[in-house]
Homo-oligomer: A and B are copies of this chain.
Amino acid sequence: MTATPTLPEMCAALGDQTRWDILTRLGQEAMSASALARVLPVSRQAIVKHLDVLSEAGLVAAERRGREIVYAALGSRLNALAHELDRIGNAWDARLRALKSLAESPDEGRPDSRA
Contact = CB atoms under 8 A, between A and B. Distances in A.
Given A8-B17, A96-B72, A89 B85 contact: no
Interface in A69-93: 72-79, 81-83, 85-86, 88-93
A46 interface: no
A75 B88 CA distance: 7
One complex includes copies of this chain to the number of 2
Contacts of A75: 88-94, 96
A12 interface: yes
The contact size tier of chain A is 35 or more
Contacts of A74: 92-93, 96
A1 B95 CA distance: 22
Nearest to A15: B12
Interface of A: 6-9, 11-17, 19-20, 27-28, 30, 72-79, 81-83, 85-86, 88-96, 99
